[in-house]
A and B are shown apart, each in its own frame.
Chain A
């Protein structure tokens, strides 16, 4: 067990800190003290205190946002917070699936078995959907840690249309850095299998890579209505 991870996670036991963390993480970008204070209903000073504690523990990162006006009287740069990229996890008893997953990804590469891996991932996605029949895919993806959000400004998306359901978090992040082609392809297959298993259209999920997010995005449900008849 990693003591520093356990300590970092135990900070979130405090409801104010937990709520501040969720505000910052859920924003997908930089959040200032005032904004975080307002969202959680605590004073700016208290928010600042707790946010800095979360930075100290490595759960958040801080930076400075330059004031819009420059020169004298424009004030100091505002301190902003964003979710730290490092992962924290504690498992009791100790478990280490990441190393094994990495080895298995290496095996797929060595065998050139990407197609088979995608087939298996798709079937796994359909299996995951079994307990969620009738639920919207957005809720199921949220439950699996993908952090979906609706992006209306999606003109550049491969499938076109009004916008996309994007996934802020990649649940397989570390592995996708190591084996991006394999992991992103398997993740797409998994999402397609999930859609299929939910009785939705698998084509809603498409590869849509961008820095800092999951490489899969989904067509919005409204886009699919025209194809239902």
Chain B
């Protein structure tokens, strides 16, 4: 885990006091809302449907038990006893008071956390593979580079007022668990033929109104040149990004309009200049950062056998646990998707319980996933039963990872001022419709994602099954799309046909999955079948007319 040095702590502390002054000036009337809004947004404070909402950054989704306990403490003391883990690996509180906001940030700063750049047209929290540092298929841990980028991008004077928000994801394995190609910049650690470490650099991906999978802009960027190259990528965007049209302001539009080849040419030209500025850190600094992400002491001779006689435990084991790169150890994903629950929500007691589990069983480390679950990354296989027992006690042992009920859903119209339709009730109804675990397991991997508006915070474009809520003459209506993926085979889903009511879309999802069951071949996931046969069989089943 990265630990703040004196500079990190000083700038976060100073930012808290600066924001405290800004809040006081707003409360006294010295500042208007128009003046205050961009300032509060740069500190993660939104005004949502029912109250102020505070988005707390969890850099690259990694946190320790002390930080997790703090999140629970804030939920109890300042909010309504719960928090919402987001698709950006952050946490949101929905019921914040303006006169508490600076105190909350001050409490967060005591555990090296903040809400800086969790909103606004700047470089947002860097996201990463939730299995980073523990995955067996990893070239290298991406988090030291994510941390380097956090330091580079925090308060970067050129990039605080970009044409639009900017999101970066970093992975270190072939399997993409972070939807890397659907980010403004996606970085994948690779080794070249000579064995040197570097990045594949993808630029211009994104979801929202105009979803795009990012093209490859650089096949191999030496890892030591990362900061300079990204500086060049951002400079070209900052110079030519469309500031005249909100809907065309993301970098994906620029890359698409001028073409990947021309964008690459301009970046390479800028890079030649930037490289002379000495922005990349000396090797010793990167080594200092990397040392803080060293693997904890794990005994490779730890016993690997697991007693599976409890059938409920065995089910959970098969669904929620994968092998760690060190023998005798495992990575546990804790589902925040109980049947009928709110995806990503956790009570303060549950947050504390997960923190305690991390402290006792996972070398004090947790991860937030972009799929709104929590990971214990470094667990002894011998401890799995004890972990499962404790998760059962706190309602956190749902065994549904990557199944149809492991739904990503944005807060939707229940909380969000931008939303057109509710997302959460739909997720609840689908989890109830498919509550039977045998049925879910038979259907296999189905990534179902729901957004309450075209901004796509619920990643519906990347869902094997995606649902988008729209406003149709004042009524909620839901568009269904199939064929999306946020994984290494990234793709954007296609709308299947006319939209549905809330109940209608649940029925349509069921018809689609039953159609899949009927035509799948051995080993095919829903997505594979859809890609093989196309939309027609699904359309026919979903839109069939009842006999007259």
Is A bound to B? no
Residues of A within 8 A of B (CB): none
